[in-house]
């Protein structure tokens, strides 16, 4: 007689199920029987999967109500901004405003510039003598963040950007990020002040960040926009430099 999966002790069954891809567990195994449904909906299986893939940090947090969501959010965690450093010129950036001589992409460190803190970043976008802006709209559903997750769990949405001036020119920088509904109504917004970098600056790269949380149900898109200009109105590209922009949905 064959030993049925049913007669396995629960910890053994959980270990077997943990080898399966999460999607199969949720869409397939949950439907097998009531017992399997309870296992897939329970915490033990997902805690094990988190441990196996090194998604830690939450074991200590009693606040992790939904280990399944924590697993999916950890698994998906990546920068949702495409072409954040100009490696593909202006690809993926829309609503581009090209004031003065417009946006340009340059190699780090650039004239009168500094190297970036991470060796993985090789280029940056640079602005001109009138406002240059560019934006990117992230479709959360297309990126795999389903509606119930956004509406109920409301995972943190972390925005980061990096900007720098060049030592011989003053410049301005602005960041504006909006969380949008299905109809692109603004549900939450973060706008930096206009940051002014003086002419005799050290050209250091500065990180700016903002975290959206408890933003309410209905968020379907993130609209990231940034830009700037120089303050001397010199022809060419003496305005603020930006790179390594990121939007992450955090577990």
- Model pLDDT, residue 15: 93
- Residues above pLDDT 90, as percent of the chain: 80
pTM of the full structure = 0.89
Q: Read off the tokens for 2.
A: 């064959």
* Averaged pLDDT score across all residues of the chain: 92
What is residue 149's DSSP assignment? I
Largest CA distance in the chain: 85
Residue 40 CA: distances (Å) to CA of 50, 64, 69, 92, 223: 14, 16, 12, 38, 35
Could you tell me how many helices (H) and strands (E) the chain has, helices first? 6, 11
What average pLDDT score do residues 194-198 get?
Answer: 97
Tell me the C-alpha distance between 171 and 239, whole Å.
5
- Model pLDDT, residue 216: 97
Backbone φ and ψ for 157, nearest 5 degrees, come out as -115, 115
Domain with CATH 2.60.120.260 in the chain: 94-249
Provide the CATH topology of domain 94-249.
Jelly Rolls (2.60.120)
Question: What CATH number does domain 5-71 carry, 3.30.420.40, 3.40.1190.20, 1.20.1280.50, 3.40.710.10?
Answer: 1.20.1280.50
- Given a cut of 80, is residue 62 above it in pLDDT? no
What average pLDDT score do residues 68-93 get?
Answer: 95
- Model pLDDT, residue 8: 82
- Residues above pLDDT 70, as percent of the chain: 94
What average pLDDT score do residues 190-204 get?
Answer: 96
Domain with CATH 1.20.1280.50 in the chain: 5-71
**pLDDT bucket at 1, cuts 50 / 70 / 90:** very low
| Buried b / exposed e along 146-157 (16+ C-beta atoms within 10 A) | eeebbeebebeb
What average pLDDT score do residues 117-135 get?
Answer: 97
- Model pLDDT, residue 58: 53
What average pLDDT score do residues 8-37 get?
Answer: 89
């Amino acid at each position: 007689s064959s030993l049925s999966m049913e007669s396995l002790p629960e910890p053994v069954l959980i270990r077997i199920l943990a080898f399966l891809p999460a999607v199969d567990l949720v869409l397939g195994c949950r439907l097998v029987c009531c017992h399997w449904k309870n296992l897939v909906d329970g915490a033990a299986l997902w805690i094990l999967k988190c441990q196996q893939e090194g998604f830690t940090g939450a074991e200590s947090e009693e606040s992790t109500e939904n280990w399944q969501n924590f697993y999916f959010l950890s698994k998906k965690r990546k920068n949702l901004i495409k072409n954040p450093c100009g490696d593909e010129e202006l690809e993926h950036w829309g609503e581009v405003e090209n004031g003065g001589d417009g946006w340009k992409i340059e190699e780090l460190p650039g004239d009168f510039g500094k190297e970036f803190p991470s060796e993985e970043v090789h280029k940056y976008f640079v602005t001109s003598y009138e406002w240059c802006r560019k934006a990117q709209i992230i479709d959360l559903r297309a990126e795999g963040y389903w509606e119930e997750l956004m509406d109920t769990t409301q995972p943190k949405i972390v925005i980061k950007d990096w900007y720098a001036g060049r030592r011989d020119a003053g410049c301005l920088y602005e960041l504006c990020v909006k969380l949008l509904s299905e109809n692109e109504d603004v549900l939450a917004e973060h706008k930096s002040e206009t940051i002014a970098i003086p002419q005799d600056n050290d050209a250091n790269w500065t990180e700016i960040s903002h975290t959206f949380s408890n933003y309410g149900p209905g968020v379907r898109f993130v609209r990231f926009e940034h830009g700037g200009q120089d303050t001397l109105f010199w022809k060419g590209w003496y305005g603020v430099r930006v790179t390594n922009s990121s939007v992450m949905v955090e577990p």
